[in-house]
Every structure is written in C-alpha cells, then in structure tokens.
Amino acid sequence: MKQLNAAAPKERAHHVLQACRLHDALGAEILADPKIALSLKAYRAAIEKTRTAFAKAGIFEACSACAAHVFGGCCFPDMEWNYTVTHLLINRLLDCPLPTRHAYEDQCLFLGDTGCLLTAKNHFCLNYFCQDIQRKLGPASMKALLQVVGEEIMAGWQVELLLIHKYRSDLFL
C-alpha cells in the first residue's frame, strides 16, 4: 500500500482536496481490489436506479429550478460539510469531478447550474423532500421513491465500509 500523509493545512474545501489527493495516490490500487470494484459497480447501478426514479417523478426538474435560485433552500453552504473525505473519494472513484470553488457563494459547494454536481450523494441530500414535492407526489409515490433511495444509501455504505477496512481510517479525516 502506498504511504500518504494526511492533509496538512485546512484550506477552504480541504475535504475535497484531500479526497483528490487520495484518489491520485490510491485510486488505481482501490479500483484493482475486486471486492471494492464490485461494490462500486453495485453502487453505480443503485445510483442510476435512483436517478431514473427521480427523473420520472420530476424531482430533478423541480430541484434544479429551485436550488440555485431560492435563498435558504435545501442546498445551503453548511451542507458541503456533511460530506466526508471517504464519500468524496467515492465520487472520484465513480469518475465524478469535484469542484473546489463555489458556483454560488451563498450555497453548497457542490451546487452547479443544473443542480447537484455529485454522483454519490449522502443520505441527507437523498432523503430530503420538501412539502411541495411530497404533496405533488403523494404518499404511495413517496414510499416507492424512499425505497429506491434506501437501496442507494445501503450500496454506498458497503463501499465506505470496504474502504475503511482496507485503509487506515485516519486517512479519510
């Protein structure tokens, strides 16, 4: 296993920078691990399933029209700190580029022009549906959607567990 020093100074977006450093140093080695590669494949499939369900339910359309344009909406600045280095590293392993500068100063770092830039979102972001969306979808559709979201969260958790078991957990701080 390659040695890597934990990130030193705390820059703004230091968790993103640490995830990118880890990806540069360990990405190929991680992807060569058959168990992790398999779990990433299952995670990608679960993410795709959620995306299809969200698109069908009109969530992306509603959220991309709202998130960047409504002050005090879901994607407020503190949300970016709910992401661990591990989760951001997983985004890089899924070929998702990570921003280091805010597109909108008063919003989450990961918010772009057409919505969230992340491939792998955490449970805070996946599980939140505002009252408008809940009303629009109704209880049966909400239940079906939450089931799909739950499967994605579990698939992501499997990848995280494998990474934390394989590597020193302090690398991910």
Range in contact with ligand SF4 (rule: CB under 6 A) among 16-24, 50-58, 59-67, 94-102: 59-67
Q: Does 57 bind ligand SF4 (CB under 6 A)?
A: no
- Are the C-beta atoms of 152 and 47 separated by less than 8 Å? yes
One-letter identity of residue 19: A
| d(C-alpha 85, C-alpha 155), whole Å | 17
Given 4, 7, 94, 130, the residue binding ligand SF4 (CB under 6 A): 130
- Give residue 89's Cα distance to chain centre: 10
Given 13, 16, 17, 79, the residue binding ligand SF4 (CB under 6 A): 79
| d(C-alpha 79, C-alpha 93), whole Å | 21
Query: How is residue 36 written in tokens?
Result: 């992790």
| CA proximity to 126, closest of 59, 45, 41, 36 | 59
Binding residues for ligand SF4, total number by CB under 6 A: 19
- 153-172 binders of ligand SF4 (CB under 6 A): none
- 86-125 binders of ligand SF4 (CB under 6 A): 108, 110-111, 116, 118, 121, 125
Of the pair 23, 121, the CB lying nearest ligand SF4 is at 121
